[in-house]
Amino acid sequence: MIVGGDGYCGWASALHLSKLGYEVAIVDSLVRRLFDEQLGMYTLTPIASLQKRVKRWKEVSGKQLAVYIGDVCDFEFLEDAVRTFKPEAVVHFGEQRSAPYSMMDRNRAVFTQQNNVIGTMNIMFAIKEFLPECHLVKLGTMGEYGTPNIDIEEGFITITHNGRTDTLPYPKQASSFYHLSKVHDSHNIAFACKAWGMRATDLNQGVVYGVHTDETSLHEELINRLDYDAVFGTALNRFCVQAAVGHPLTIYGKGGQTRGYLDIRDTVRCIELAIANPAKLGEFRVFNQFTEQFSVNDLAKLVTRAGAKLGLEVKATNVPNPRVEAEEHYYNAKHTRLVELGLEPHLLSDALLDSLLNVAVQYADRVDMDQILPAVSWKKISSKPKTVVGTA
Ligand SMILES: NC(=O)c1ccc[n+]([C@@H]2O[C@H](COP(=O)([O-])OP(=O)(O)OC[C@H]3O[C@@H](n4cnc5c(N)ncnc54)[C@H](O)[C@@H]3O)[C@@H](O)[C@H]2O)c1
């Protein structure tokens, strides 16, 4: 059961697992499409409705995806979906996943934590009540850890303090109300594993880039979303679109912000590996799901070079950082556990950048230039609802 199966990571994962022969159900409230409508911003790639996507997948692959449209915060709806489909694993992508969105105003900060924390708790309770053997695979984020001045471990760290030693959850230093919602989820899930014997894998995912997977490229109507705006777009994807439309790459502050990144083709493989090798009953596992680290300046250089090869003149500009974050810092995060299970990373290559830039060029006329510059300020968040993003 893929919760959030109409979204960027969820759609690609649902098709990948379906192709592998898993029986797959998509659960989604379609709230992500509503955010787009409300904010007047749209994915670069024209995505079909979920119903059309599912129909097309059946025609292309011969495989049926079950669909449950509803909100996992609605326990009655979730109970019905879980009891009908009886999943062996629930992969939970179904959250509000933009840090800027969660920092727009009080309403959206509260919505983000309510939607994410309650949705996850409902899924935990549904598993406990109806399917206690079911494996919860939950998408967390590397952003839960922040940027400590020591190496980041995979979930846990062994500390000796005043002569005594223990292995403890790695400290969390989230930097937005969105990232904090993921921290709360992690704590709730760890507790449920201990208290109820639930099995769970928390995948602290890095920033995902790319658009095509083997399955989504089978037909135009299966194409995945690609966000380039300053609210939902993520670093490398945004830079490629900016390069394609001749907008200077928007480096926030000094650009030394370093994070873990991965190709969407590796996201789907990581989900496959997590499901095929489930946690034990009562076990709370944490995997850091990324393949390489880059600073924002590194990405700008890579996109500039790849753009030049395609004849694009790419410039970069340092814009005031709307976030509160370190702009020059130490960053070294472990990421061995998924590789031990068999992940063979698609490292960022010129070929991938070419293909991403080509997709961006193909759909360049869909770009709304007003959505590119950041307009959500961490410091200026107010209790008054904000209806237009471009008015920080
Ligand atoms: N995209 C990234 O770079 C990235 C990086 C790290 C972690 N993640 C995590 O991976 C997950 C998926 O991210 P994405 O980029 O695919 O996001 P997305 O916004 O494209 O997809 C999320 C989907 O979940 C659905 N959803 C949200 N709340 C729901 C609810 N209460 N009930 C049912 N459906 C709901 C939305 O409608 C949407 O289709 C998120 O949890 C996100 O935090 C993503």
pLDDT at 387: 77
Name residues whose C-beta falls within 8 Å of residue 359's C-beta, 6 or more positions apart in sequence. Answer: 44, 45, 211, 212, 226, 240
What's the CATH fold of domain 2-371?
A: Rossmann fold (3.40.50)
- Residue of 3, 15, 27, 32 with the most ligand 1 atoms within 8 Å of its CB, for mutation: 32
The token pair at 249 is 């790459």
Q: What is the mean pLDDT of residues 7-16?
A: 98
Ligand 1 centre from 8 Cα, in Å? 7
pLDDT in the model for residue 386 = 86
Q: How far apart are CA 390 and CA 392, in angstroms?
A: 6
**Per-residue pLDDT at 380 exceeds 60:** yes
Give CA–CA dist 137/150, Å, rounded.
Answer: 27
Substitution site in 97, 141, 186 for ligand 1 pocket (most atoms within 8 Å of beta carbon): 97
Task: Provide the pLDDT confidence category of residue 134 given band limits of 50, 70 and 90.
Answer: very high
Ligand 1, atom 38: nearest CA belongs to which residue? 7
Angle between helices 75-85 and 119-130 (to 10 degrees): 40
Which residues lie with the beta carbon below 6 Å from any ligand 1 atom?
3-4, 6-10, 27-32, 71-73, 93-97, 115, 119, 139, 141, 205, 207-208, 234
Per-residue pLDDT at 390: 53
Taking only the tens place, the pLDDT of each residue in 200-230 is 999 999 999 999 999 999 999 999 999 999 9
| pLDDT for 388 beyond 90 | no
Query: Would the pLDDT of 392 be above 50?
Result: no
- The domain ranges of the chain are 2-371
Contact 133, 126 (CB under 8 A): no
Q: For 80-84, 122-126, 387-391, which range has the lowest pLDDT when averaged over its residues? A: 387-391
Q: Show which residues are catalytic.
A: 141, 178, 182
Strands 258-263 and 292-295: antiparallel
pLDDT value of residue 391: 43
CA of 11 to the centre of ligand 1 (A): 10
Q: Span 319-329, mean pLDDT?
A: 98
Q: Are 367 and 45 in contact (CB under 8 A)?
A: no
Segment 46-61, tens digit of pLDDT? 999 999 999 999 999 9
Each residue's pLDDT tens digit, 137-169: 999 999 999 999 999 999 999 999 999 999 999
Tokens of 55: 């129909």
